[in-house]
Amino acid sequence: MSILGLHKPSWLLLIVLWLLTSSTAFADTRSLVLVTSETSPALELSGKEIRWLFMGLPVVKAGQRIEPLINATTPLVYEVFLQKVIYMSAQNYERRLVVRAFRLGGRRPEKYDNQVTLLRNLRENPNAVTFMWQDDAQRQAKIKIVTELWSGKIK
Amino acid sequence: MKCRINMMLKQCCLLAIVTTLAFMPAAHAKGEWWLFTDVTATKRDLPPSLVGKMEELDFSPSVALFGNLNKGDFQVLFGGVISDDEAEIERLQLGWNINPTNTLWFGRFHNPFDYWTSKFHHGLYFQTSQLRPGSVEFEDEGGVMPLHLSGFLLEGLYPTRGMGGIRYDLALGVGPSVGNSAAGSVLDAPTALSLFEKRREHKLAATAKVAYLPDAVAEEELGLFISRVVIPTEELVFIRGDITQTSVGVFGNWQYERIQLFGTAMFMRHEQNVSVLNQSGSEFMRLNMGSGYIQGEYTLTPRWRGYARLESTRGAENDPYIQSFAMYIKKRQLLGFRYDFYHNQALKMEISRAEHQHGDDAFNAVSLQWSALFR
């Protein structure tokens, strides 16, 4: 059987090629940003400080200890943050936090799977920071973007 | 035994008082409790010289509870272990975060020397292997080093260039004394209240440790330590007075892709007055020894890991102090595999060849351990 003069193996190949190339066309370009409360003083954090912060290590700015809030409201935002900013798998990251608390005590960064609670705690604590998609952050009131953490295509 | 139970009750009361005072009015207090469980089955191929001194077939379950409570600038760490042959409060320490990089602890804590104890404490699930190295074995398991101290511990982490950091620990308190058990001499570690005892069974101990971490959020480190402890030896008839134990060592942990290597090498000096046979006097002896271990691990898959360890002690043959610890492991080679499954559970299969302080006959052992962390 032929379609438009092409034999079956040929048009099957064309469909496969189209699917392969079109998948990149569907890839979504998104930016992950670090956000804080609108009432927070101007905050500058280096890549090292952000990594220290979310690994539970102390980071102090203007005499105040910065408190990281882990955004796990969607698996994607959590996974992209760990892969692109912390450079660890979720399993490895959580194990490191647990081992650290076991060795030295102290509070582990709080993990939130409810966006309402996350945003409420972020707005109430001027020393708290979290991460979220840039378009999400721009839609939320009373928070501000500190810096862009990562930008790229998500397949 | 009654005395031990009394001491445990006192420590439990102390924990209850400290945590109640610290956290009762605390709406913002945060706390977490974790439970470690493990069961180990061991089959030993004992030579005739060790038959009757050790179990050929051993089955030992244990449970460890870990608590971490925080309120403001204060925190409490608690670690307790219950097994078939002991029930002990291992860590009970109250901490004050002087600033974000420095914490001052008071109570009973693990002596911060070495790599192993500072990293794994009593969390068998966290250590890849089943067994601890003999040189850093716990006091009641045949260890000769002071693993628990009671007093003050200052620790901190300072950032360096790049992602690195310098971690330090300074401990000052009281250490163990020598006691007796069915298996020979054993170190009696201090309790959280030993610092306040009228009868000074425990004497001064001090440790300083510093480590460089190339990436403070990773696990690689290279460090040095020095420790000095005065150990009362009333239970040893052939040693008069106290022993002063000084140890200096280097430790490190290196990782490259799937390979991990870590270990400790230490030099120890024992200064002691040894009784002279058939005479009333004693002879002052200053004896040196060295011990260390190195463990290599290879991650085969995310769930499977293979590992091997070499341990050795040299120069202990003529040391009366070391000679009194019959269960001290002076040499061991082991090989094992670890399989992680479900959620925070692991199976470890291990074969080993070990040599105790008493008896030159080495023996082989094969063991299987299930360990888990519930939190």
CA distance B67 to B64: 10
The answer to whether B75 touches B162, Cβ cutoff 8 Å, is no
Structure token pair of residue B292 = 């260390």
Domain with A45 in it: 27-154
- What CATH number is given to the structural domain containing B154? 2.40.160.10
The answer to whether A51 touches B163, Cβ cutoff 8 Å, is yes
Q: Is B249 a member of any domain?
A: yes
For the segment B2-28, the average pLDDT, to the nearest whole number, is 55
For the segment B326-336, the average pLDDT, to the nearest whole number, is 92
> pLDDT band at A35, cuts 50/70/90?
very high
Domain total of chain A: 1
Contact residues, chain B, for A51 at CB < 8 Å: 163, 217
pLDDT > 90 fraction of chain B, expressed in percent and rounded: 57
The answer to whether B77 touches B68, Cβ cutoff 8 Å, is yes
- What CATH number is given to the structural domain containing A120? 3.40.190.10
Q: Is B22 a member of any domain?
A: no
Cα torsion through B314, B318, B323, B328, rounded to 10:
0
Structure token pair of residue B23 = 């956290």
**Which is more confident, B273 or B24?**
B273
For the segment A2-25, the average pLDDT, to the nearest whole number, is 62
Q: Is A111 on the interface with B (CB under 8 A)?
A: no
B257 Cβ contact partners less than 8 Å away, ≥ 6 residues apart: none
B20 Cβ contact partners less than 8 Å away, ≥ 6 residues apart: none
CA distance B36 to B82: 10
Q: Is B24 a member of any domain?
A: no
Helix (H, G, I), strand (E, B) or coil at A127: coil
Which of A97-106, B27-36, B196-205 has the highest mean predicted lDDT (pLDDT)? A97-106
Q: What is the pLDDT of residue A41?
A: 87
| Inter-chain touch A103–B118, beta carbons under 8 Å | yes
pLDDT score of A52 more than 70: yes
ipTM surpasses 0.90: no
Q: Are strands B204-213 and B282-299 parallel, antiparallel or unpaired?
A: unpaired
Q: Is B23 a member of any domain?
A: no
CA distance A62 to A70: 22
| Inter-chain touch A101–B32, beta carbons under 8 Å | yes
| Structural element, H or E, at residue B13 | helix B2-23
Q: Is B250 a member of any domain?
A: yes
Q: Is B257 a member of any domain?
A: yes
For the segment A45-49, the average pLDDT, to the nearest whole number, is 88
DSSP class of residue B29? -
CA distance B263 to B254: 9
Q: Is A16 a member of any domain?
A: no
The answer to whether A103 touches B169, Cβ cutoff 8 Å, is no
Domain with B235 in it: 2-16+34-374
Nearest to A57 among B68, B118, B216 (CB): B216
Mean pLDDT estimate for chain B: 88
Q: Is A12 a member of any domain?
A: no
The tens digit of pLDDT for each residue in A72-85 reads 999 999 999 999 99
Q: Is A76 a member of any domain?
A: yes
| Inter-chain touch A57–B217, beta carbons under 8 Å | yes
Q: Is B26 a member of any domain?
A: no
For the segment A59-88, the average pLDDT, to the nearest whole number, is 93
Q: What is the pLDDT of residue B1?
A: 46
Q: What is the pLDDT of residue B184?
A: 74
Domain total of chain B: 1
Contact residues, chain A, for B70 at CB < 8 Å: 105-107
The answer to whether B176 touches B189, Cβ cutoff 8 Å, is yes
> pLDDT band at B16, cuts 50/70/90?
low
Q: Is B91 on the interface with A (CB under 8 A)?
A: no
Smallest CA–CA distance, residue A31 to chain B, in Å, is 24
The tens digit of pLDDT for each residue in B96-146 reads 999 888 999 999 999 998 899 888 888 899 999 999 999 999 988 889 999
Q: What share of chain A is helix, strand, coil (3-state, %, to 5)?
A: 45, 30, 25
Mark B1-14 as b/e (b = at least 16 C-beta within 10 Å). Answer: eeeeeebeeebeeb
Q: What is the pLDDT of residue A27?
A: 62
> pLDDT band at B27, cuts 50/70/90?
very low
Q: What is the pLDDT of residue B61?
A: 95
The answer to whether B352 touches B369, Cβ cutoff 8 Å, is no
Which residues are bridge partners to A2 per DSSP?
A7
Q: Is A4 a member of any domain?
A: no
Q: Is B29 a member of any domain?
A: no
Smallest CA–CA distance, residue A116 to chain B, in Å, is 19
CA distance B146 to B205: 9
pLDDT > 70 fraction of chain B, expressed in percent and rounded: 90
**Which is more confident, A46 or B28?**
A46
Q: What is the pLDDT of residue A106?
A: 86
| Inter-chain touch A96–B66, beta carbons under 8 Å | no
Best residue in B114, B217, B303, B375 for a mutation probing chain A (most A CBs within 10 Å): B217
